[in-house]
Copies of this chain bind each other. A is one copy, B any other.
Amino acid sequence: MDETLLMIPGPTRVAPRVLKAMSENIVNHRSALFGEILTETNQMMSEVFQTENQSYLITGSGTAAMEAALANTLSKGDRVLNIVGGKFGQRFMQITETHRGIPVQLEVEWGHGVNPDDVRYILEEEEDIKAVTIVHNETSTGVANPIDEVGKILKDYDALYIVDTVSSLGGDDVFVDGYGIDICVTGSQKCLAAPPGIAAVTFSDDAWDVVDKTDNQTYYLNMKKYRKIGDATPPETPYTPAVSLIYAMQEALRVIMEEGLEERVRRHKLAAEATRNGVKALGLDLFAQKEVASNTVTSIKMPEGITDKELRGTMRERYRIELAGGQDHLKGNVFRIGHMGNITHREIISTIAALEMTMQGLGLDVEIGSGVAAVADTYLEV
């Protein structure tokens, strides 16, 4: 049994009651009993999305849901404004290409958030933008993009607003209806704190109108099939779902309902602040710009003279805490602390304490206790 503390941006630690839910006997996925489970789970999912729209669960990763968003709405040659400021922004662009769309890239420097004015500029200049994709929380850089501001701009245009909230939903403000989001996608294993393997999507009426006019380019992710059988009473999924993972989703969403979404977001915000204050007190530099720093993952520049292997290796081997490295060109240059899901002050304190010890062990000049004190101060100030 592995007791390493996961402080990575997903998968996150899953509560025992959620793990336990998976031990229940498998039931027929076409039974009334499973229909009840799916009904409750879908409803809670829509509550977390803060939408009146129906939600659908897909057995697959968040990437499957990202693909479902585009594969069901793009026709050959459709132009898509892809806002790209990290690895997952790039992924939306790659999926656009896979599904024969033409990406119009709005490149954002990694570590920065998108400037909403740039979005308006492109929508004014470019014709026939069918959809705009944005990653709310860019897991690769620790940046939270201003999806509320971008949503306001999109109200003036016909383009579908497609938002990836894989690593933000349940840990940061996401108001699908309030922000005018047409397609919102998320994953089970991040702030929702369920095991990986389930993705969730929700489509607005405008999005369904486009779907209905679009030829099928995918079978497994064909949302028309999900809608047809998912909107029936009792609801089903078109293909055999991961029954045990749906049990886990149901339980994880019940946990969220008990905590309350607002309180949960507040808890994440505080964990993020505490983490930033802790690492800054240790003399480390944050990678993401201050005003767009993520609620759920903090990216930190690797201190000079220390390798990723030394820092994260020591954290893992000696202190049993798993951090994430940088992705793509950030590999070795940043490391990331995930603070999403069931994260409390305890895990943040332990992580910063271990980081102090790791840094000192690697010969860096840190005052033991200073990082932890900054974390504690953050929590005391509330």
**Residues of A with Cβ closer than 8 Å to B?**
1-4, 6, 8, 10-14, 19-20, 22-29, 31, 33, 59-64, 66-67, 91, 94-95, 98-99, 187, 189, 195-198, 216-222, 239-245, 248, 322
Determine if B24 and A2 form an interchain contact, defined as CB atoms under 8 angstroms apart: yes
How many copies make up the complex?
Answer: 2
Name the residue among A4, A12, A95, A196 with the largest chain B CB count within 10 angstroms: A196
Contact of A241 among B29, B196, B221 (CB under 8 A): B196
Q: Which residue in chain B gives the minimum CB-CB distance to A322? A: B28
- Knowing A197-B244, A245-B242, say if A219 contacts B28 (CB, 8 Å): no
Determine if A241 and B197 form an interchain contact, defined as CB atoms under 8 angstroms apart: yes
- Knowing A60-B220, A61-B240, A220-B64, say if A26 contacts B14 (CB, 8 Å): yes
Q: Which residues of B contact A12 (CB under 8 A)?
A: 26
Q: Which residues of B contact A61 (CB under 8 A)?
A: 59, 220, 239-241
Q: Which residue in chain B gives the minimum CB-CB distance to A243? A: B196
Please give me the 3 A-B residue pairs with the lowest Cβ-Cβ distance, nearest first: A197-B242, A61-B239, A22-B22
Q: Which residues of B contact A99 (CB under 8 A)?
A: 219
The majority secondary structure among interface residues of chain A is loop
Q: Which residues of B contact A14 (CB under 8 A)?
A: 25-26
Q: Which residues of B contact A8 (CB under 8 A)?
A: 28
Q: Which residues of B contact A222 (CB under 8 A)?
A: 98
Determine if B6 and A26 form an interchain contact, defined as CB atoms under 8 angstroms apart: yes
What's the minimum C-beta distance from A209 to chain B, rounded to whole angstroms? 21
Determine if A29 and B196 form an interchain contact, defined as CB atoms under 8 angstroms apart: yes
